[in-house]
Structure 1
Amino acid sequence: MSTAATDLDAPGTGSAAPAPALRPHAEQAFAEELAALAAADDRPRPARWKMSPWAVATYLLGGTLPDGTEITPKYIGPRRVIEVAVTTLATDRALLLLGVPGTAKTWVSEHLAAAVSGDSTLLVQGTAGTPEEAIRYGWNYAQLLTKGPSRDALVPSPVMRAMAEGGIARVEELTRIPADVQDTLITILSEKTLPVPELGEEVQAVRGFNLIATANDRDRGVNDLSSALRRRFNTVVLPLPGSVEDEVDIVSRRVEQLGRSLDLPRLPDGFEEIRRVVTVFRELRDGVTADGRTKVKSPSGTLSTAEAISVVTAGLALAAHFGDGVLRPSDVAAGIQGAVVRDPSADTQIWHEYLETVVRERDGWKDFYRACREVPAR
């Protein structure tokens, strides 16, 4: 046996032990909630759905079941947004989740797929280099050369698999995909069929199939959707969090989930710093302080909720490994500066002006001000 194989064995067992996933899929991480919802759900379910639209919305928005089971909210925002998204998936129209970076488009997409079909992994990641085969199908070239075109040589895409199984396919960053590749979806979404001319066959979508795509509305002009393709989608816009409290809640919940998988300190010890990070991001993003009295310049970055989650998670790691386990201003200062100052020539002055005119004069923020001033300039 090779040394590499031996290194994978569990001590004392002589067999490989499964390693815990760093980031389990939604259907794995929330399996107990999904099972409890399915068991309590007595409402009509669309074909091949694991639960009713009401239960899917409850899974996303949170609630308490009759047996007392608490369903944690996966999305904090307008209820109607989720209700429209879920209802769309129950029709023959595909769903396009649109929003600025950090509005939980991917997060919502994953959890919708997990709740509806129990599988969030039928995913196409959109990039400038995404080929047509990623949406349609490809070939096992060894078998193709040996036997010619055949079912055995065909490599189905995630979309083709979803069509055949009656599941939910996901396409991330649709507008990053070249326009001619995007249009591969037109026949799939309108005719619910995927021709395979090499075999003289087609794959017809079975009931339950649908598709969720996400797009960043700041990517306009990158690869805009054709009008023909856009008509095949029902577009749902995910807004930024409406209040500081909502955004703090989102960041706290997500960081707590990440922290558990990374063995980081519990969040209550750093709640004040989370609120401070969110406040800084919102004020710079909105161009005005929370009290509306002082206008500030906005930097070039997006300063999204997702970036706030990243800053706080990194700060917790610093506190855990190089501090006393309590999140403090010095743990988040460098992360905030890194998020704000994306373009040093333009953003450095904006950040320094904000520190001097807003942070320096704010009661209870002196430690934060000093920590930020001590971070080396980029």
Structure 2
Amino acid sequence: MTDTPTHRRQVEPAEDAHAGELAFLAGYDDGPRPPGWRITPRAVVTFIVGSEGKELELPVAARGAALPDRLAISAKFVGERALVERCVVTLAGERGLLLVGEPGTAKSMLSELLAAAVCGTSELVVQGTAGTTEDQLRYGWNYAMLLAHGPSPEALVASPVLRAMRTGAVARIEEVTRCLPEVQDALVSLLSDRRIAVPELAGTGDATVHAAPGFTLIATANLRDRGVSEMSAALKRRFNFETVGPIGDLAAETELVRRQATAALARAATPYAIDAAVLEVLVTAFRDLRGGRSVEGWDVQKPSTVMSTAEAVAVATSLGLAAAYFPGDRDVLSLLPGHLLGVVRKDDPADGATLLGYWDGAVRRRAEDGARLWRRLWELRDVLVD
């Protein structure tokens, strides 16, 4: 007896996680599509920002057993619709798109969603690091086949970028400013000439790979990495820059943290059990420290690290796991100061004093105003004292 293997994944790529919505939108909007696109630009925007709770109705001609007649599209990215529209227009023009912003502002998520909606795959990715080589942008070789038979199309190992060029898809490069300058320079010719030469295959029909219609590239870069490997002026000119900023609205950010933490806990087969008021306190503290000003207008010293939404999701998930695995040991709120301390010390251990200053300022003043949860947090001040 043999067991049938199951392929379980912690995180589904966007094209698989939202396959039903993408299939629905392909039938819902029959407007013009750029070459190689799975759905229309308008449908791509709807896929990312959602239908605002409204159920979209499938045209009668597109209805079938495989699709629902009506479907509300979930919002997956919290941000300005105009930003998403500009990104989509950039890709429709087959121009490179560079998403910049502070760490944790969902640049990679937006990049993934765009690629999944446009070409059906978000997995043609190169992770930029100081060790990324030019071969990872172009091609390499299967050395066993190369030694046995010499250079051949079969021995060539295509990079994610080369595969995207062949199929007219969207390639993604994460943290492009972490790549060395000579690696970045390879992108200049890729985005200009739209072809890759393979001199080892000279004399064959495979010596040059030309980009198929629809090919383009999305890169991301953290503002905190400025100066690590500064992009050349030539490379900058080949991208449209879009800045992805922090979420401006407390309620929207709180809902996003709740949704992301709920999904993370579901992957751990753990129910979400964080009180809404506790979650709002968590997100409020992150926003105060991130912006250097409380919601009431009090000045707050900012820590060195970026108090990102992604970090808030991680803390909320940890609180949920603690509530599930250690029920009754302590209230979830009592764990918050320790988690916040871990976050603010990430870049500079001395920032523990910054968090203590926040406690002696904004937390104390809210406690004095009678807010129950903030009063409890004030009582937990000793957790922050070494």
TM-score normalised by structure 1 residue count: 0.92
Stretches of structure 2 lacking an aligned partner (at least 5 in a row): 58-68
1:283 aligns with 2:271: no
What is the rounded CA distance, in whole Å, between the counterparts of 1:51 and 1:69 in structure 2? Answer: 16
Spell out, residue by residue over 1:117-162, the C-alpha distance to the aligned partner (whole angstroms, 9 max, x if none). 1111000000110011110000111111122211111100000000
Cα deviation code 1:145-194 (max 9, x no counterpart)? 12221111110000000000111100000000001001111111111101
The residue matched to 1:263 in structure 2 has which SS? coil
Q: Hey, what's the Cα distance between the residues in 1 that align with 2:71 and 2:29?
A: 13
Kept in 2: contact 1:307–1:339 (CA 8 A): yes
Counterpart Cα distance in 2 of 1:313 and 1:163: 39
Q: Structure 1 residues 345 and 93 mapped into 2: Cα distance closer, same or farther (>3 Å)?
A: closer
Residue 354 (structure 1) aligned with residue 354 (structure 2): no
- Residue type of the partner of 1:231? R
- 2:8 aligns with 20
Give the alignment partner of residue 171 of structure 2, picking from 165, 169, 172: 169
Task: Give the % identical residues.
Answer: 43
Give the match for residue 273 of structure 1. 278
Match of 2:157 in 1: 155
Alignment partner for residue 221 of structure 1, among 227, 230, 240? 227
For structure 1, the residue ranges without an aligned partner over 5 or more in a row are 1-12
Corresponding residue SS for 1:77:
coil
Give the structure 2 partner of residue 99 of structure 1.
101
Match of 1:10 in 2: none
Partner of 2:352, secondary structure, is helix
Q: 1:373 is aligned with what amino acid?
A: D
Q: Is the 8 A contact 1:105 1:238 kept in 2?
A: yes
Corresponding residue number in structure 2 for 1:317: 321
Aligned to 1:6: none
- What are the residue-to-residue correspondences of 1:135-154 with 2, within 5 Å? 135-154=137-156
Label 1:327 to 1:180 Cα distance change in 2 as closer, same or farther (>3 A). Answer: farther
Output aligned runs, 1:297-336, within 5 Å.
297-323=301-327, 328-336=332-340
Partner of 2:377: 368
1:185 equivalenced with 2:190 (yes/no): no
> Partner of 1:72 in structure 2?
74
Q: What count of residue pairs does the alignment treat as equivalent?
A: 363
* Between 321-330 and 249-258, the greater mean CA deviation after superposition: 321-330
Q: Which runs of 4+ in 1 moved over 4 A?
A: 324-327
Question: Partner of 2:310: helix, strand, or coil?
Answer: helix
Change (3 A) 1:14 1:214: same
- How far is the alpha carbon of 1:116 from its aligned partner? 0.7
Q: Is this contact kept in 2: 1:320–1:326, CA < 8 A?
A: no
CA distance in 2, matches of 1:327, 1:205: 57
Of 16, 33, 36, the residue aligned with 1:48 is 36
Summarize the Cα distance change of 1:59–1:330 in structure 2 as closer, same or farther, 3 Å threshold.
same
Q: Do the aligned residues in 1 keep the contact of 2:338 with 2:383 (CA within 8 Å)?
A: no
Aligned to 1:295: 299
Q: Is the 8 A contact 1:329 1:371 kept in 2?
A: no
Cα pair 2:101 2:243 within 8 Å, conserved: yes
| C-alpha distance in 1 between matches for 2:132 and 2:385 | 39
Q: Is residue 128–residue 178 contact of structure 1 (8 Å, CA) maintained in 2?
A: yes
Corresponding residue number in structure 1 for 2:246 = 240
Q: 2:115 aligns with which of 113, 117, 122?
A: 113
Secondary structure of 1:121's aligned partner: coil
Query: Is it true that 1:205 corresponds to 2:211 in the alignment?
Result: yes
| CA RMSD, 1 decimal | 1.8
* One-letter amino acid of the structure 1 residue matched with residue 38 of structure 2: K
Distance in 2 between residues matched to 1:88 and 1:344, nearest whole Å:
38
Q: CA deviation at 1:257?
A: 2.1
* Residues 271/141 of structure 1: CA separation in 2 closer, same or farther (3 Å cut): same
The 3 A distance-change label for structure 1 pair 306 and 327 is farther
CA-CA distance at 1:344 after TM superposition: 5.6
CA-to-partner distance for each residue in 1:240-297, whole Å, 9 max, x for gaps? 1112122112212222222222222236x422222111111111122122111x2121
Shift of 1:195: 0.8
CA distance in 2, matches of 1:176, 1:206: 28
Conservation of the 8 A alpha-carbon contact between 2:131 and 2:179: yes
| Contact 1:337–1:372 under 8 Å retained in 2 | no
**What displacement does 1:331 show?**
3.6
Query: Separation in 2 of the partners of 1:245 and 1:224?
Result: 36
Q: Go from structure 1 to structure 2 and tell me whether the alpha carbon gap of 1:307 and 1:345 turns closer, same or farther (over 3 Å shift).
A: closer
Counterpart of 2:253 in structure 1: which amino acid? Answer: E
- 1 CA distance for matches of 2:188 and 2:40? 28
CA distance in 2, matches of 1:339, 1:265: 24
Which moved further from structure 2: 196-205 or 359-368?
Answer: 359-368
Describe the superposition over 1:52-85 as per-residue Cα deviations: whole angstroms up to 9, x where unpaired: 0000000000013124311111111111000000
